[in-house]
Amino acid sequence: MDRPLLQIDGLSLARGNRTVVHDVSLTVGRGERIALVGPNGAGKSSLIQAICGLLKPSAGRIRIEGADLSTLKPRARAAAMAYLPQDGTVAWNMPAIEVVALGLPFLNADEVEARAREALDEVEAAALADRGVAELSGGERARVLLGRVLASGAQILLADEPVAGLDPDGQLLALERLGARATAGQSVIASLHDLSLAARFADRVIVMHRGRVVADGPPRQALTAGILHEVFGVTGRWLEEESEPVLALSRRQSASER
């Protein structure tokens, strides 16, 4: 059996005096397309940041191809993972192509420019290459930042709300590009609030609730009526379509609405 690309064992995380992730254990293999879902405050962003090494666990361990995350040198960590944060802020008004190039710290200048332009083209943002990111719309900047992650070529792509701020076409583009990377052998973990998009994008859905993993499996198995009711407070059913199943959701009625 192949060694997991990513292995998390008994991971807990605290922010201040509050534990935000409780005893999470999971493995990720190569080429997996994972949607991490859950209500606000479920621990999704904290888990992603821990995998990146941005948050130190209070318990448990994270291993990349068997090596403890804390032992990886910067170059090895950059080759292992790339992170797209939820906050799309860029501190300086750099040209878009230079922002994408930040994902390629260990290549020579010619290789960096070529890879950066390829990534901008991949996210249909080639025309933005020489424009300052502060002059871009939120959706345009989101495409540039996605391009930075794609340019890295890292084994694991971690995207925290990669469709936030994008119009419908941009949302589908982002998920298609991330999905294509998984098909090519990279592993993708993306946190998503839109459960219908998550079901469409992912071959595996991990549901978090109050800092714990409460479901993990293919979309139909993870997003059951019981999970939708208990975790998200909605009712839902799967609609059969010719191309792929669709998840239809509706709010539960409150007592005052009945």
Tell me, yes or no, whether 190 lies in a domain. yes
Angle at 48 between CA 43 and CA 50, to 5 degrees: 95
In CATH, what number is assigned to the domain containing residue 151? 3.40.50.300
> Which 8-state DSSP code applies to residue 95?
B
Tell me what the pLDDT averaged over the chain comes to.
Answer: 92
Q: φ and ψ at 149, to 5 degrees?
A: -70, -45
Domain that holds residue 119: 6-257
Q: Is residue 195 part of a domain?
A: yes
Asked whether residue 222 is domain-assigned, the answer is yes
- Indicate the number of domains in the chain: 1
> Are the C-beta atoms of residues 219 and 239 closer than 8 Å to each other?
no
Average pLDDT, integer, range 2-20: 92
**56 within a domain of the structure (yes/no):** yes
Q: Is residue 108 part of a domain?
A: yes
Angle among Cα 208, 146, 244 to the nearest 5 degrees reads: 60
What is the mean pLDDT of the segment spanning 110-138? Answer: 94
pTM value is: 0.93
> Does the pLDDT at position 1 exceed 60?
no
Whether 125 is covered by a domain: the verdict is yes
At 239, the pLDDT band (50, 70, 90 cuts) reads confident
In 3D, which of 157, 139, 180 has the Cα closest to residue 85?
157
- Average confidence (pLDDT) over 192-214: 95
Q: pLDDT category, 241, cuts 50, 70, 90?
A: low
Specify if 88 maps to a domain.
yes
How far apart CA 101 and CA 113 sit, in angstroms, is 7
**For residue 1, is it within any domain?**
no
Counting residues of the chain whose pLDDT is more than 70, the rounded percentage is: 95
Q: How far is CA 132 from CA 63, 91, 149, 150, in A?
A: 37, 11, 18, 20
Over range 36-62, report the average pLDDT. 95
